[in-house]
Structure 1
Amino acid sequence: MTVLLGCIADDFTGATDLAGMLVKAGMRTVQMIGIPQEPIGNDVDAVVIALKSRTVPTAAAVAESLAALRWLQQAGCRQFYFKYCSTFDSTAKGNIGPVAEALLSALGSAFTIACPAFPANGRTIYKGHLFVGDLLLSDSGMRHHPLTPMTDANLVRVLQAQIRGKAGLLDYAVVRQGEAAIRARFKALEAEGCNIAVVDALSNNDLMSIGAACADMPLVTAGSGIALGLPQNFRRAGVLADDRVADVLPPTGGLRAVISGSCSLATQGQVAAMQAVHPSFRIDPLELARDSSRVSAALDWSASRIHDGPLLFYATATPESVKTAQAQLGTAQAGRLVEEALAAIARGLLAQGVGQLIVAGGETSGAVVSALGITGLRIGPEIDPGVPWTVAITRESGERPLALALKSGNFGTPDFFLKAWSRLSESL
């Protein structure tokens, strides 16, 4: 097996987001859930290892990421990629900075970039400040995130608080000059003692230029946007075909359902749009704490309705409702109750014949994928920027193939849950 690009993602939907971008750019890509226990097939250009390390203790995040790196090195990867969210989700102490520095050290490298920009989804960086649409990150809905509230849009400042080295800025005045100017600025920043530089980006053309300038960089750290600019480097090196079709999935069937745990503004709108036309069942952490039979009730409700069309099971709620539940139960307990309930519902839905499942939210996706015993995904066609359909490739033999769309909470148009099924049909 010769893998060109080895990627480490700090959550499940983020991993799928990155893998989808690579497939869109012509790289045959698989996403592995956790560190693989055995070799993968030979028809793979990129591997994305999905960890659940965004909000775990920093030492655990570093250890898991280094273990993933070792596996990717053994697979012969030519370049490595640490992927985090396009909203730079992290706490004051990490885990983005500490993981990036640990990977740099393990690779014997002195310099890398930090660039969560994803213009197609409204994430841009200017003068080191991250924007979500027209709003600074600190003014967006991310300031209310229950686990990683982002209250500072200045990424240089956020990153500097997390790392031992020096954070720098490669601003747009350089980026707009193209690849050569960016490369020259990389060298200057490294000479100044900077080990991680935040890079401005306002458009896909900027990402292409930045990606080209990163061709010889052992480690790239970014959101999924930079993935647009990396495959071209492998083509220039003659190791990736120009005409490769990478997004074909094997046939799937079965019934359809949506499970939503994200409380982002985007997902709130998507839940409302689906509720208007399809039956829905609400999962509330306070009810879960009072009534241990709530999951059974959800599956009993589903049994008589699932054959009539997609059903929605959701814990999505407003920031005020989330804070109320956290105040009464504690943040960790409220999250655990919801994740365990939604994962149990997913298992029950598969037993009822569901074979095409959408899951919204990174933490929820991680819980569902783990509960279903899935260890790998074949990446297929894009539904919306950053969200592809996938098919589980390592379930038990004899089981029905399972199509999964793992959606980051912030991604997708308001009608995402309604239109995703037609995109899957087109790919079969």
Structure 2
Amino acid sequence: MSPLPPGPLVAFYGDDFTGSSAVMEVMAFAGLSAVMFLSPPTPARLAAFADRRCIGIAGIARSRPPDWMDEHLPPLYAALGRIGAPLVHYKVCSTFDSSPQIGSIGRAIDLGAQAFPARWIPLVVGAPALERYQVFGQLFAGLNGTAHRLDRHPVMARHPVTPMDEADLIRHLGRQTGRRMGLIDFPSIKRGDGDRKRRALAGDDAPVIAIDVLDDETLAAAGALIWQARSEGRFVAGSQGVEYALVAHWREAGLIPCDAPVPTTAPAERIAVVSGSCSPVTAGQIAHAEENGFASLRLDVTQAVDDVTWDREIGRVLEQAKSIAAAASPLIYTARGPDDPAIAALAEACRSAGADPARVNDRIGAGLGRVLEAMIADGGLTRAAIAGGDTSGHAALALGIDALEAIAPLAAGSPLCRAHATRPGRDGLELALKGGQMGTPDFFSAVRAGRRLDAA
């Protein structure tokens, strides 16, 4: 087995910000340095991080329609190609939530196939560390210790934008692209037949080939298939399961150490939190935080249908949040779970005002960023957390930072990161980005304590 080549091994685009930080986590805590830019870096800025083994760009494609992808993804793919990594990864959420109208993974793959011609496009979504399992092409996701088929998942089947009504990933993806597809199922992998099946399925039409992952053996086998056949398939789609699989293979092959030192960080006296998530998992985390010294404030999102009323609402919350940040950890949220009346109220406010929901959601994310920026500045805070995949991008950009590096594990998929910025006062800020489904009830307390959730 040849050693790993020098330079970047993986270049990636994440279709939301929280998922992008999860890719960094997998690579960085395996001893492979990683950086994630919040927008395409200039050549000079990229040169400052040229020694990183994993380089990515965080994005918002998950919440955008196909015509947005047609305009924005080709130049992003071109930027990733110039990094020179042997693999280019379009990173999707580990619950694969998408539709033909919003966050189309199929359209992103079609554009990737144009940018990076190949004989096959690997698709890996399963990630056992996250309780994500793909079996016979069906995706299962864990919640509170129980694995649910995705179309019966208590949360994802009820997602407010892209509810998952199909657990068969090939059927689901078939609604978004006409590309030929195939499956390397786990019995094929278990009997050592995976690569033969890959060769039989590959072709000049660059089919998507999904790979079952349900345990450590199939995870490492998926990584071997991707890495050993990368000359025929440089472009890869899937969750952070792609990086988990690569790391598992590299370890099994003796290309990287099996145990990298686990970094730690000190506690912070106070942190700031903003949440645009409507997940029940995040709702539980907000409740736990309130019971453990955080002071919460609700942001009335119905006011976001109009610039004037939204500025007034931001001002109201800022006045209260500033006083909190001087003595406690403030937590600003927009909803407490999928049944929060604020969700229906926002939809009705958009209808009544004739406002574009996508534009309103962008305004909400940017508003949360403004609030977070003010809390950090006025409270002298050095650590913060943002909850919500669609929220994180807008809120992080409002802080004036341009890159993140994972510095310590918290919960799987949500590391603590260090921010890089050319703006004085923001370089070195510690930030945790959390997707709706990520973390145990004490997540926000763990961010404050700098504590890994699976540690004693």
Task: Determine if the alignment matches structure 1 residue 123 to structure 2 residue 132.
Answer: yes
Which residue of 2 is the match for residue 137 of structure 1?
150
Identity %: 27
Which residue of 1 is the match for residue 117 of structure 2?
108
Task: Determine if the alignment matches structure 1 residue 410 to structure 2 residue 419.
Answer: no
Q: Matched residues in 2 for 1:48 and 1:160: separation? A: 27
Give SS of 1:135's match.
Answer: strand
Unaligned runs of 5+ in 1: none
Equivalences for 1:14-413 in 2 at 5 Å? 14-38=19-43, 39-40=46-47, 41-93=49-101, 95-133=104-142, 134-140=147-153, 141-177=155-191, 180-190=192-202, 195-215=207-227, 216-217=229-230, 218-231=234-247, 242=257, 255-277=270-292, 278-288=294-304, 292-320=311-339, 321=341, 322-330=343-351, 331-332=357-358, 334-352=360-378, 353-397=380-424, 399=426, 401-413=428-440
With 152-161 and 191-200 compared, the bigger mean Cα shift is at 191-200
CA 1:403–1:261: 2 relative to 1, 3 Å: same
Q: Matched residues in 2 for 1:69 and 1:219: separation? A: 10
Q: Matched residues in 1 for 2:410 and 2:265: separation? A: 17
Deviation at 1:398, TM superposition (A): 5.2
Query: How many residue pairs were aligned?
Result: 423
Cα pair 2:8 2:55 within 8 Å, conserved? yes
Cα pair 1:172 1:200 within 8 Å, conserved? yes
Which residue of 2 is the match for residue 419 of structure 1?
446
Unaligned runs of 5+ in 2: 1-5, 352-356
Deviation at 1:424, TM superposition (A): 6.2
Deviation at 1:342, TM superposition (A): 0.8
Cα pair 1:252 1:403 within 8 Å, conserved? no
Cα pair 1:19 1:379 within 8 Å, conserved? yes
Q: Matched residues in 1 for 2:72 and 2:303: separation? A: 34
Deviation at 1:246, TM superposition (A): 8.1
Deviation at 1:405, TM superposition (A): 0.4
Q: Matched residues in 2 for 1:398 and 1:263: separation? A: 31
Amino acid paired to 1:346: L
Deviation at 1:234, TM superposition (A): 6.0
Q: Matched residues in 1 for 2:426 and 2:368: separation? A: 21
With 148-157 and 327-336 compared, the bigger mean Cα shift is at 327-336
Cα pair 2:219 2:244 within 8 Å, conserved? yes
Q: Matched residues in 2 for 1:252 and 1:158: separation? A: 43
With 158-167 and 297-306 compared, the bigger mean Cα shift is at 297-306
CA 1:388–1:237: 2 relative to 1, 3 Å: same
Deviation at 1:287, TM superposition (A): 4.6
Q: Matched residues in 2 for 1:242 and 1:376: separation? A: 27
Deviation at 1:55, TM superposition (A): 2.1
Q: Matched residues in 1 for 2:115 and 2:81: separation? A: 11
Q: Matched residues in 2 for 1:416 and 1:250: separation? A: 15
| Root mean square deviation, CA, Å | 2.8
Q: Matched residues in 2 for 1:117 and 1:211: separation? A: 12
Give SS of 2:63's match.
Answer: coil
How does the TM-score come out when normalised to structure 2? 0.85
